[in-house]
Amino acid sequence: MIPLQLRLSNFLSYGESAPVLDLEGIHVACLSGGNGQGKSALLDAMTWAVWGEARKSGESRKPDEELLRIGTRAMEVDFTFRIGAVDHRILRSYMQSASGKTSKPGLEFQVRDGDDWRALTAESIRATQAVIDERVGIDYETFINSTFLLQGRSDEFTKKKPGERKEILGKILALGRYEAMASKAGQRWSRLRERATALEAEVGRLDAALEPVGEWEAEKAAVGDAVASGKADLDRAAARVAEAASRLSALDAAAREAESLTSALADLEARRRKLDADDAALAGKIESADALLAQAEQIEADHERYEALRTQRAELDEKAGLFRGIDGQRHALRLEMQQRTAEARAEIVALESALASLERQIEADREALKGQAEAEAAHAAAVAAAERLQQLDATATRRQSIERRIEAIDKQLAADKGALEGSLARIVEEGKRLAEEVKASDAVDTEALEATIRDGRAAAERREALQTEGTEASRHVGALDGRLQALAADRQRVDARRRKLETSDDDACPTCGTELTEAHRAEVLAGYDAELCENAEVVRSVTAERDEVVAKRDALRAEFVRLGAAVEAGEAAARTLAAARDRAATAEAKRARLDALREEVRSLKRTIEVEAFNPDLRAERASLTDDLQETAYDAEAHARSRADAALREHWATQLRALTVASERLTQSRSDRDLKAAALDQRRSALDRGAHNAEAGKRMNALDEQVRTLGFDPAEHERVGKALDALSDAPSRLSRLLDARRQRAEFAERRATLAEERRSLGAERTSRQDALDALQGRLSERASAERDRDAAEVERQAAAGRLADAQGRLGALTERLDRAERDRQRRADVKSELREVKRQRALYGHLRRAFGKNGIPSLIIEETLPEIEARANTLLDRLTRGRTRVALETLKDKKTGGGTKETLDIRITDDQGVSRSYETFSGGEAFRVNFALRIALSQMLAERSGTQIRTLVIDEGFGTQDAEGLQRLIGAIRAIQDDFETILVITHLDEIKDAFPVRIEVRKEPVTGSTFEVVGA
């Protein structure tokens, strides 16, 4: 990850107008500026953009609030960086509600696609962060423990627990994939173990299921014989059932014939009864016809009377229709006359009501017009007040403008005075500092300093020779220590494998993967014992050699330390002498500068005391004060005019209403006279009846038509009643005519019925004789049914015995077929079980190989010497070989014997003595931390595939003396080709001037932090 561009708004000390930081093409740069100016905030913005992490309180409920600039509610960071050859861009934001109770974070991730940006943002912030982590390939914790030396946290890696160091180193080396593979192998091994258990259970079940197969085969042969015997018995019983069924079938036919004869006899009896009924009906009809023929004369006379009345009634019905039409017209005309009378009276009532309403309106308008003169006077007064209000508003606006300007001038003058007082304080402080420097430039003992310098140089030359010899001895000791550590690690690995082999209950050997027999176990254990003996012998030899070299190195170091005091005294004397000469050379200039500062202090004090600064503003304020006094203004009169002017519209509305009332009064009086005349006319017409004159004429004409028609309603009613009394005359005449025509026909039909009755009696006698003959045969049916039932019982018993035997035979056949399938299944299961056990052993090996004590442990062990070498190479440069570090992966257990895995850091001083990290001075500890972190950063840049080729060093130089600073600068330059971008943050001029590109940061009181890139 190579930073290219950074945009930020309201982040920590940076405001909304912060410039854009363009890092493209910059290899090594220094961020410089005073403490608290915002140097580290730029790097915090980068880590917050990528991981959402920066300097903040982890315990805070809303930690992003601590990154938000004070007084703002929204911040945003836009960070562009390069991974490989592809540019990426992250926009992370945070917005707080006005109440501060809720917040809304935002995150967008993009990748360069030609000239545009293509979005990689996922559906949520969590998912988008996962995409970013996958692209970057490293988390925040690993980043700040390797390539990012945070301010005040350079010892982040050194002070962690051994387990945490191993975890960070594992992330740097990308060992997480082995943990994933070990987990997958373990899961696969567990599934295979469960499968093997299930298969073994299945084999046991199949073995138990196949045990009774021999018994089933013997039983099947016996049951087959029983089936053959049962079939013969069933055939014999079926023949007897068929014979009995044939006899019953013949009897059933006879029964059906008897049933048919019985039905025919019943039909004949029904026909006889119908013939009797028909004969009786014809006799009745003949009797009725004879009775009608006896009344023929009376029936014909009644019919003639009926026809005469019907003709008379038709004539009267015609007159009745005309009478009803005329009478209906008379009734409608009477209703019309009543309606017109009501309408005339209603018009009179309406006119009377309108006249009353007009009188009331006229009276109300006369009352309203009495206050017209008062309203006109009040309206004129309100108009005059409105004109005065305009003048007073203009005066008040001008005074307010002058007062606001005077207030602004007072604030500016106060700010200018504060600035002058601040400048005065700074100049006073600078004067004090120059006075102290001038005082310190007094003469020093130059001869004594030069003698000390000569002694120090001689001691330094001797120390260089001793250092060369001591370095060689230390390297020899380090090599021997490395060999001893390797031998110890070999011994521990062999011992661990030996113990594992002794306690292993796997089917396969954990060493070679072959079958683990007791003989093979003993053979491998003997080999391990031989390796351990050989290892112990080599350890004794190397330890003796190391003791000799350590004794020689200790003697060299003792002399080196003794000479160190003289060297340090000489160096201190040289620095003192150089500083004294520099102070002497600049003392005169400082005295002149001090005199100038004193004069400037006196001038500033005078300016502040007499307030002589910013004369233009003071003149403007005086002029404005005069204008304010000259502008006359009466606030009470202003308020009264505003109140009076507010009534102008009210009185204008009143005047308009009075004008309308006057016009309405004139119109109401005219309307009243017209309506009074109309009312007199309507009343006179009603009294005369003029509204119904035409209708009276039409009513007289209708009365004359009724008289001319001559209709008698009583006669019409009498004829109708007589006609109703003879209403059955037409039907009686019709029945008489039918009787005359049908009397002879009825007699002939009676004779025909008598002949049919005689023929029916003969047929009934013949069919009854045939039925009696069949009844004698049907008496044998009970005996035939008993024979059939006995045969059927025997047949069913034989069929049941046969079905039982066949069912048993089928069951045995199915069992034997299933047993054959079980035999094949057992063979398949055993074959699968062998394969599952083989795979389980294989995945067991893989689980152990990918586990933390397998390949990852070997990779770490192989990597640590390289990290040690890189760190010690830097320490040689930084400490002249006086300090070295060693990384130990094993240590003795406190109880129980043996060793356990760890990742301890052992630091040795120039005496070769191992000391705890806390006993080293701040400068020494920083150099150790710096060397280890640079080594980890180099490993991260080269080996993990994360492409983090950026190194950030945030402060920490304050613990170093001048020589230490120069050595750190030299170390940074030596490793600069290992990284694409190196950013060094400091406030020290010695560090700042050592780099060609500087990002100079400063902080403005109002706009916040800003920066300028120099030398790019």
Q: Which tens digit of pLDDT belongs to each residue from 822-873?
A: 889 889 988 988 898 888 888 888 888 887 777 877 777 777 777 778 778 8
Residues with Cβ within 8 Å of residue 265, at least 6 apart in sequence: 764, 767, 768, 771
Is pLDDT at 61 greater than 60 in this prediction?
no
Is pLDDT at 911 greater than 60 in this prediction?
yes
pLDDT, one tens digit per residue, over 386-431 is 887 788 788 888 878 888 888 888 888 787 777 777 777 777 777 7
Is pLDDT at 702 greater than 50 in this prediction?
yes
What is the distance between the alpha carbons of residues 278 and 754, in angstroms, rounded to a whole number?
11
What is the distance between the alpha carbons of residues 151 and 955, in angstroms, rounded to a whole number?
6
Is pLDDT at 944 greater than 50 in this prediction?
no
Tell whether 312 is covered by a domain.
Answer: no
- Structural domain for 21, as ranges: 1-137+947-1015
Per-residue confidence band for 59, with pLDDT thresholds at 50, 70 and 90: very low
Least confident range of 258-272, 892-906, 986-1000: 892-906
Sign of the alpha-carbon dihedral angle for 436, 441, 445, 447: positive
The enclosing H or E element of 367 equals helix 296-368
Tell whether 922 is covered by a domain.
Answer: no
Give the residue from 879, 868, 979 showing the smallest Cα distance to 925.
Answer: 879
Structure letter (DSSP) for residue 20 = P
Give the residue from 144, 178, 95, 392 showing the smallest Cα distance to 848.
Answer: 178
Tell whether 434 is covered by a domain.
Answer: no
Is pLDDT at 899 greater than 50 in this prediction?
yes
What is the distance between the alpha carbons of residues 510 and 548, in angstroms, rounded to a whole number?
41
Q: How many folded domains does the chain comprise? A: 1
Is pLDDT at 566 greater than 70 in this prediction?
yes
**What are the backbone angles phi and psi of residue 158, rounded to the nearest 5°?**
-65, -40
Is pLDDT at 7 greater than 80 in this prediction?
yes
Of residues 307 and 533, the one with the higher pLDDT is 533
Quote the pTM value: 0.39
Task: List the structure tokens of 961.
Answer: 């003396």
Tell whether 666 is covered by a domain.
Answer: no
Least confident range of 214-223, 631-640, 664-673: 631-640
Tell whether 996 is covered by a domain.
Answer: yes
Q: What's the pLDDT at 959?
A: 59
Per-residue confidence band for 57, with pLDDT thresholds at 50, 70 and 90: very low
What is the distance between the alpha carbons of residues 88 and 79, in angstroms, rounded to a whole number?
8
> What CATH number is given to the structural domain containing 30?
3.40.50.300
**What are the backbone angles phi and psi of residue 437, rounded to the nearest 5°?**
-65, -40
Select the highest-mean-pLDDT range: 4-18, 128-142, 673-687.
4-18
Is pLDDT at 634 greater than 60 in this prediction?
yes
The contacts found for 112-115 with CB under 8 angstroms, 24 or more apart, are 112/86, 112/87, 112/88
Percent of the chain with pLDDT over 70: 87
What is the distance between the alpha carbons of residues 619 and 794, in angstroms, rounded to a whole number?
146
Tell whether 741 is covered by a domain.
Answer: no
Average pLDDT for the chain: 79
What is the distance between the alpha carbons of residues 956 and 572, in angstroms, rounded to a whole number?
23
Of residues 200 and 896, the one with the higher pLDDT is 200
Interhelix angle 781-850/213-294, rounded to 10 degrees, is 130
Residue 665's alpha-carbon distances to 359, 550, 671, 672, 677, in angstroms, are 10, 135, 10, 11, 19
Q: What's the pLDDT at 529?
A: 84
Tell whether 394 is covered by a domain.
Answer: no
Of residues 155 and 658, the one with the higher pLDDT is 658
Per-residue confidence band for 170, with pLDDT thresholds at 50, 70 and 90: low
Sign of the alpha-carbon dihedral angle for 814, 820, 823, 825: negative
Tell whether 99 is covered by a domain.
Answer: yes
Residues with Cβ within 8 Å of residue 125, at least 6 apart in sequence: 105, 106, 107
Q: What strands lie across the sheet with 2-9, from one edge to the other?
A: 21-22, 2-9, 74-83, 86-96, 103-113, 116-119
pLDDT, one tens digit per residue, over 351-398 is 878 888 878 888 877 777 777 777 778 788 878 878 877 887 888 888
Task: List the structure tokens of 989.
Answer: 């001029």
Of residues 163 and 486, the one with the higher pLDDT is 486
Cβ(984)–Cβ(946) below 8 Å: no
Residue 412's alpha-carbon distances to 419, 423, 602, 613, 618, in angstroms, are 10, 16, 23, 11, 10
Cβ(402)–Cβ(627) below 8 Å: yes
Cβ(123)–Cβ(109) below 8 Å: no
Per-residue confidence band for 50, with pLDDT thresholds at 50, 70 and 90: very high
The enclosing H or E element of 163 equals helix 162-172
Cβ(23)–Cβ(979) below 8 Å: no
